[in-house]
Structures are given as C-alpha cells and as structure tokens.
Amino acid sequence: MSRSLSRVAGVIGELLVAAGVLVALFVVWQFWWTDVESDRAQAASVSSLSAQFATVSEPADDTAPVGHPADATAIVRIPRLGADWARPLVEGTTADDLARGLGHYVGTAEPGSIGNFAVAGHRTTYGKPLADIDRLRDGDRIVVETVKGWTVYAVSSHSIVLPSQGEVIAPVPGDVSRAAKPTEAVMTLTACHPRYSAKQRYIVHAELVETRPRASGAPSLDVAVTSAAGVS
C-alpha cells in the first residue's frame, strides 16, 4: 500500500473512532443523563407544587391554576410504582412537555370531569415516569392532586395499540362517532411500547372512584382500591 493510501486509511480510521465516541456519548446522554436532569427537575416541581397546595384551603375560583399555565399544575401519584412515586402533570404532550413530567392531552377532560382525562408519559429517557406502566393491575389506585383537592381513579383495563389509534383518548374511549357522548369520568395513561421503541402504545384505562375537596383531607395511598370504595 502506498504512503498516500496509508494516510487516507489512517484518517478514515481516526474519523470512525471519533464517530464511535460521539455515538457512545449520545447514548449516554439520551439514556442516562436526560433521566438525571429530568428526575431532578420533576422532583423539584412536585416539591414546589406540594408547598403551594399546602397554603391553599379552598380557592375562590375552583378553576384557578397554580402558577403560570406553562408550569405543572397537578401531581400524579401511583402507589403501585412506589410509595414515593410522584410526578408533575403539565399541559401538553410535546417533546418539551414530556421532558418535564407527565403530559395532559390538550382538549381532553380535566381531572374528575365527565369524559376522558388522558395523560402521556415517557417509558424511557427524560425521567421515564411510565417505565413500569405494565406493572399496573386492575383496581390499582391513581391519585391526582390539584389546587382543588384530589381525584382518585382505579385501573380498569389494559391494551396495546398502534400510534395511529387515537380513539383510546376519545371522550368515550374507543368510540370516535359523533353520537358518542361521555357519561362517565375516566382516565387514560399512554406510553410507548415496547421499551426503547415507539412502534406501539401501552394503554391503561381507569375509572373515577372518588373526588375529595382539599378541606376533606388527602385520600388513602394504598396500592389498590378496595371493593368498599366502590370497585369490585
């Protein structure tokens, strides 16, 4: 091999090594550092909301948000995922929104309201709040705290769908006909499936169990709702 070819081969080799290092650094950033940053930011958001909620008795206007509309306005707790599991809920499901916590699908119902209160979350990266969504079982409790108080849902079903199947977040889940009118308050959680892929969506539906005003005190954070609470 001529000297010129040797030099070219050497340069190509160095470029490939550099490219490999860059790819490795990107993977570390994507799958580790984004979790570190987002976990820290989301914990701070939950702490800030908790402090604000603690100063509220009953808001004069029960639709008044806490903080700026772009900020998190609710805390979601799922005891099945850990006694200390708590994540902020922000409005919207863009990439930037989901980096800050769980995201409320714009246009879907508010917590406790008739219709479908639909929420998305990452299963990998950016804090991966719904990494273990597949661990949820029927009857598991999902507690949503807002400035008004608490809304408690109980998991009722699971499914795996394609990303195009947006009917899962319709006001009546699964029914997109104009005649469909919601008569019940439900909640839907969505996350990518399987892990490290966006080919499908893992869906969890839950039904409303209880709505508690702030003056009544916090609800139980037991993992599952008992039949005495209205879930068979």
Ramachandran region, residue 167 (left: φ > 0; alpha: ψ -120 to 50; beta: rest): alpha
How far is the C-alpha of 128 from the C-alpha of 102, rounded, in Å? 9
Q: Centre a 10 Å sphere on the Cβ of residue 53 and count the other Cβ atoms it contains.
A: 18
Question: Catalytic residue numbers?
Answer: 122, 192
Residues 129, 82, 189, 52, Cα dihedral to 10°: -80
Strand (E) or helix (H) holding 143: strand 141-145
| Residue partners of 151: CB distance under 8 A and separation at least 6 | 111, 112, 143, 144, 208, 210, 211, 212
CB 122 within 8 Å of CB 98: yes
Q: Choose among 53, 43, 121, 50: nearest CA to 85.
A: 43
Q: How far is CA 206 from CA 9, 120, 168, 185, 203, in A?
A: 60, 14, 12, 9, 10
For residues 69 and 27, what is the distance between their CA atoms, to the nearest angstrom?
33
